[in-house]
Chains A and B, each alone.
Chain A
Amino acid sequence: MDFQDIVLRLHNFWRGHGCLILHPYDVETGAGTFNPATFFGTLGPDALRVGYLEPSRRPTDGRYGKNPIRLRLHHQYQAVLKPPPSNIQQMYLDSLEALGMNLAEHDVKFAEDDWESPTLAAWGVGWQVCLDEMEISQFTYFQQMAGVSLDPVSVELTYGLERIAMVLQGVESAYDLRWNDRIAYGTLWREKERQFSIYNFESAAVERIQKMFTLCEEECQASLVAGLVFPAYDYALKCSHLFNILDARHAISITERESFIARIRELAKACAQGYLGTGGIDAYPTT
């Protein structure tokens, strides 16, 4: 099954379970959780069902295109359901079968992996789902988002698509995956991985990035003052991404690290408070 087929099948599967099928957010994110559909959607009392693809950029994971599974940009598929159905584990396993996986042939484990994001002031309880000991998904019952205790809680299923595709196509390296019947994943992505790795680890202009961080932080704060939570959140996301570049560049000492994270966290919390404060907007309704 081609990489692009996997995405289409997951869209279909979750559409069948009543999810809104959305698109990747067009601001850099480190994980699907940062997409506003999850960030704002999990807040508040209203039901939520969404599914979307999210390219996730993690500068420190870059390996110059040389590691078979560690990537600076990998593709996450994310399904979020609030409240969680009681058969959600089975539903998740069914989605793997829908991708053509014969689970009886593999070793599937739900291994404890509680999730926490200090930048989002969010945490949840759950597992990494391992297929033959390779982590292919993160399965999390969110308990808190942006410092707010969630009621009802949401469940988030995050699929690591490259890894799942490797199993399905039986290849040893993500770069050997078929994107479609003509183009290999490597053809599409290897050079980008190489260039971004050089950029993130060696070339990004530390001072300029630090300035950009401060500018985005100010823009976020200014938008919050104007009561514009969605634009504000975009700038919080940018801060998070810029921080990740600085981190990969080893430009942040351990002491500074904490304070950078705290600055982003304050922005995220303020966005959440602004959103809940508007009273009753349901940004991603189910009906």
Chain B
Amino acid sequence: MRLDVRSIPYRAGESVTRLVWLVAIVAITGGNDTSLAPPALLLAGAVVLVVALAAGYQVLYFRRFTYDLTDQTFDIRSGIVSRRTREIPLRRIQNVDIAANPVQRALGIAEVRLETAGGSGTEATLRYVSRSEARRLQDDIGRLNRGESAVEDADAERYTDADGDDPLFAITMRELFLLGFVSVDLRILSFLSVGVPLFAPSLGDVVAPTRPLLVQLSPITLGVGGLLVLYTVAALVGGLVAVTNYYGFTLRRAHDELRYERGLLQRYSGTIPLDKVQSLSIKANVLARAIGHGSLAVVTAGYAPGEGGSQSAVPFAERDRVVSLAQSIESFDDPEYVRPPKRARTRYAIRYLAVALGVVALAYAVVRFTPLDGAWWGTLVLLPVVPVAAQATWSARGYAIQGDYVLARNGYVVQREVVVPYHRIQTVTTASTVFQRRRDLATLVVDTAGSGGYGGQDAQAVDIDTEDADRLREEVERRMHTAVAERRSQHHRERTESLRDTTGPVDDGPSADRTTDPA
């Protein structure tokens, strides 16, 4: 099959626009010596030529690009100069994503991206197909993966699959508003809140001789005022981003897939195959927790590391709802987290004290040895915060071992709970640094194939007793083996059953097969 015809003008337009930008930049930087400007006729000719070239190239691209969805694979043949043929086994496809920006939406076209676990990026991109074709691909790839056939009589069912059902989750305007309100990067704020009272007056000093006025404003008032302004700006930006990203978010379940749609300007739609879920992560920052809300993300193995392998399943909702939705995907129990031993808290207190003293020393050094002048003692405010922060960090940490899942919770400012099914575990590691060993503590890391494993996406039980860590490492491994074996025999059963269904005599009811199944 081919791309949508409307992709030709769009793609040509895209390349011409890029060129126009280039020309514009050259023209602006090149000065305004009008005597050197080419005659209007020549200019018009050049424009026509460029447009014709772009259009011609895109026509060739269009004619050379074919794709085909077979029962087993998705095949793409493309390339004008060097030809490429690519076959992607359907079973390996992790996600099918659709994106369309406002212009594409006006034209009725969309971009389709197929993600697999291998490779360093998106496995295949179709630029662009009609919106209904994009939908059809999303539906049929899911259908073929389930072992149903794509072509026959699907139409009637298709639209009940994905469109007719009540969504599992649809974001309300109120939730969207609250999301904007809480999606402020608190780390930047806390960092600036120290910097502002310290250097704001002195910066004024350096810039302009308006000292009397600035001295009258005490650093603290300025700090509080600055903080408010910063918060407002950050909240506005965060809110705007949240609203454009998650406007009209809906999550639906179609057989064994989840499907989401979102976006105000650029519309996104993606699939999350439930049998490829690596882990779930429930996230909430301090503000969201204060109003009892949180978000849920599903981690699959698609996408390149760093691109973020987790798709938002619920961007923002009340915690109960988030948890119950997560439990409908992976049926874990309400977790009762085991906290680290109290001596871990002492460790955090010492760590934060060292940081605080470092900041104070740095501020003092800056005031003492540079022309900047300010209230360095203002940083002493950090000292009473130390025990509070230690308590907060300690109370946020925990792990839970359940029948089929291991859970871990970390982070106070942004709290993240990770749920890992045993059968998804890749490796189990315990690590203890020199400082941890002094207090007989260790960290248990449960690694999965979910991409973007760096930055604490894994399940980690941080600062637990060394003995517990060793015991848990063995226990988690044992449970993983049991879970994998169980899943394998289940898989095996299902496969032999489906083989019998397809190859066996038609008269044999499926019930007859089941009664004779050895397992």
Do A and B originate from a single complex?
no
Binding site for A on B (CB under 8 A): none
